[in-house]
Structure 1
Amino acid sequence: MNSCKGIKLLVLLSVFMHFCAFSQTSTSEQACMKGSPDGCFNRALDYYDGAGVPQDIAKAVSFFSKACELGLSNSCMNAAMIAKSGGGNLAPDIELATVNFERACGLGVAQGCDNAFYYRGNEKSPVYNPAKGMLVVKNACAIGNENACFWGLYRAFDGKKGEFPNLIDKKEAAWFGEFTCRKYNDSLGCHTAETYFADPSSPGFDAEKGLLYSKLSCDTYSSSVSCYNVGSIYWQIEERNLTSQYLQKACDLGYAKSCQYAKDWREYAQKLTAYEEQKAKNDALINGALSQGQYGQAVSAAIHQLRSQEYVEKAVLATSRAGAMGQVNTNDLYVIASWFSSGPVRGAADSEMSARGTGLEGTFGEGTNTAGAADARWKAAYGGNMPSPSSSASAPSIKPMPSAAEISAQTREKYRYAHCVMSGSNTSAKVCNR
């Protein structure tokens, strides 16, 4: 009788424990169906361990996969590793394993990226698929898989020499190019990034990156075309020393197209340097007189020494603003009237001659100061010809340099900004202070 009671107690205890386990697993499954990754994970463990339910590896992997889809990275790896080897009622399933490795990779698991890349990118893999490989290879590369970086670069750059034309993608190639250039010092990577970012017609044009990778390709790998491109960028923003340096380097590396441009630029730079030195002296001459209140002397120097309409305009307007037109010689007023047919400078001269009651014919009137008549009257009054403005005062110019694409004024400003703010920039350069 006592033994029967014991058997009844054991049966009741067993039923109670089974009910509790069923209740727990049912709760986990319900939570999973409501979107709980932990609920899915716990239910997967139930089926994997046979806890409260018959062991079912296929269902375990299904619930691990569901938890993976909901963002639980360790569940992705569980599903992938079990599916890879199989077990119980689940035969090895490499495709299912790879899908979960891919999901793990997307969640930042390095091992998941390595495995996904191996199965999608290895030609001997039963689930080899280059197109799907391109979807995971960036993550694998970013996490530190060097082989993945170059695998992606070669296919995005030229489809692995045309083998996979549908994988060619300039934007993707530039991403891999940046990574392999900066991290692995790869010349193809630098060149790929350069061609994408430095070309103003590219949808990914970026002046700072373009200049950076062009310089890397030139300075580190002695790419003659890259040196020429760097020179053309500096040409556009008129950074003289660097223009000469890179154009000549391209020439020395065998890029014949650059040699004539290097010569043209040297000659232009020499002329411009001479012009700027002379202009500095001219500025000092006129500014010095104006700052000392010697307005008549400033106007006279601009006419007779510099023979420059630019400096005459500057001196006359400053003199007019100071109310000092009375300091200007009458003969200089005649020259001003001859050099300027209209505008504020001519108006200042007219006003002063009218105030003096004098003009080229005794009284200054409209229509009496044609260029020929003025010169004849000057010759009669002062002897010789009236001074004429010099035609050599303007800065030298240089013909535009052709590049891979026409560089607009906006692009020049972007390159100027890139040159002046990127790491290693010479912010004291003149071009950076404009």
Structure 2
Amino acid sequence: MKKVLLSAYACIPNIGSEEATGWLYATTLSQEQMDVHCLTQLKGKDAIDTALASGQWPNLTVHYVTIPDWVEQSYGRGLAGMYFHYLYWQWAASQVARRLDRRRPFDLVHHITYGSIQLGSFMYRLNKPFIFGPVSGGQKSPASLKQYFGGYWRREQMRDWVGAVLERINPAFVNTIKRADRVIVTNSDTYELARRYRRTGDIDKVLDGGIGQSFLPEGPISHEPGRELNALWIGRMLPRKALELTIHALSKVDPSVPIRLTIVGGKGDMVDLVPGYIEKYGVQDRINWVGHVSHNEVKQYLQQADVFFLTSLRDSGPHQLLEAMAYSLPVVTLNLHGQGEIVSDETGIRVPVGSPEQVTTDLAAALTWMWHHPTERQQMGQTAYRFALTQLWDRKVKLFSDNWYPALATAAVQQSVREPEPVELGQFSDYRLG
């Protein structure tokens, strides 16, 4: 049985986002006849220990890496504080990993979360066969559409600036990109960034996100045409999600086209601005904002919709996009970053990114086309469903266990005969075995 070490800074069951990704990889890989050891933060301990107590994952051991309180407190102090917290934790995790490896050597090491290429990972310090990813981070929001960030555009620029600085000064980034045996990225933007620093060596691309078996409907859904076109938007009210752009485009749809947009989501930095957007663009009679709903209710809205509408300005691959496709919905989106790669001409309409006038006009035209072509949009939805079936989490994780791990495990045999490096735990030695 292969002994695999996962670095999963974010790893908590049942809360979504990167935490869900870390937990999913750890549990799924442990069911593939592997002895999986997962390094993660102490804050997930209660939820993880409760889940492990079920006995469902006997091959998974979780190690909680702790850091000093003053470092923990840095997390909530803006972007710089979050990055510092992450890098410090990664360094601490690498120290714990080296100590664990001395006790019983690992066959290979795999960094899962955070999935940020610029932040990198210190797991290269183990000198073991090493997989980094899937990661993103090469995407940049188009400046031509900065008006939809409102007061948050400066923060978006700061993110890009910090990313550029980290590429030059963060040893975790430079060494990981150069020394990892395999780098896995989620979109072409990140591939191009990785290739600038990794002139030789494997870089593979897998689309971001995935779908769990439990979320799938029993089969493809036939969205029969009705008296109006029901468009659906799902997400958090974050600046980069550009809900204002969605609403602006909706306002340009000719009044003769019967269309209603349902907005699902009630959390995020810009939630208080949504009523103002609706009033500003005069679409009160075309929008149904339902706020935050349960996961089961999301399924109901997906079943009732005709088109999924997404205008994110920076995304490696929105999970809700794949979920909508799993419910046989065609997509209207931007030809940008992850969504531009997930959606094809057979599953939706991708609008090129230019000026606000061009983008909103083209988005409105795409919605209008969907209304006037019910047969074609249903065909797109059926094709989207078939594509979604290729993006199941189980299948994606098997890329690692069936293809990439075996080759690296062979190299691990050769690595294991080397004299291990001395371990200097010092102040980083506070860890617990789950």
Shorter-chain TM range is under 0.3
Query: Of the two, which has the highest radius of gyration?
Result: 1
TM-score normalised by L of structure 1: 0.20
Instruction: State the structure with bigger RCO (CA 8 A, min sep 6), 1 or 2.
Output: 2
Greater per-residue helix proportion: 1
Greater per-residue strand proportion: 2
TM-score normalised by L of structure 2: 0.20
